[in-house]
Structure 1
């Protein structure tokens, strides 16, 4: 069972790293720019009466490791995962639209293409830019891959631009 959980976590992290690479190449959507999706691991909320489960505050419910829930009314989803640490900890893999782009007079929110009530990632805002204009995103800290010989997670900063 432990091997399955470890494999599942590695698969989720691999998809996250691969997904971040794919997000950089994400094409414009019907004349508008759709933002990248961002993934990050954070410590999970845990209720003392349910120690082996994540607490999904947007659902007011507990969630088993390996299960996913949407973050409505926010645009995103989370997955409950078990860390490889000893002793293991519960983590929440959060996927969302990330930060809004920096202000740009040549790019506007496309109200017609943005559907705030759609499931993630379709609920992410879509922007329409004048020809030649590009969206720029603020730098945000991201978690670097953890070396196999280290149990510490190191934060790095990466520039995000469309």
Structure 2
């Protein structure tokens, strides 16, 4: 099975969510047992709600366990990169046309959150940046057209 890149932070967030869901399991089982005691299961809304919650919880547990099993956790703080943009690095870009500054961290698919400045490694911006160096000027094809950026800074945190 092909490994999927993930940052240390992303892997830790998944492990934390998995721990939370595993602790929720007994509570859901308890709710199902209590609802069974209420009588007829066909018309027992509490029972059906608890069973639905159990199904959702189990599906989420399986999903997270799978993601962690195929994850290749990459810790950029332990790499010597000397200004080269790689997976996990944080890049500060300056838009050549507007002088607007943007900072992005290149992360795995499941970790991406554009509002928080985390872009997927497979996004057009990340694909255009990977392998470039601090100080380079890059042209990136985005859905809104071509953009030219200067790579101002590359950090490995």
Q: TM-score, normalising length from structure 2?
A: 0.24
Q: Which entry has the higher C-alpha Rg, 1 or 2?
A: 2
User: Counting helix residues as a fraction of each chain, which structure ranks higher?
Assistant: 2
Higher RCO (C-alpha under 8 Å, 6+ residues apart): 2
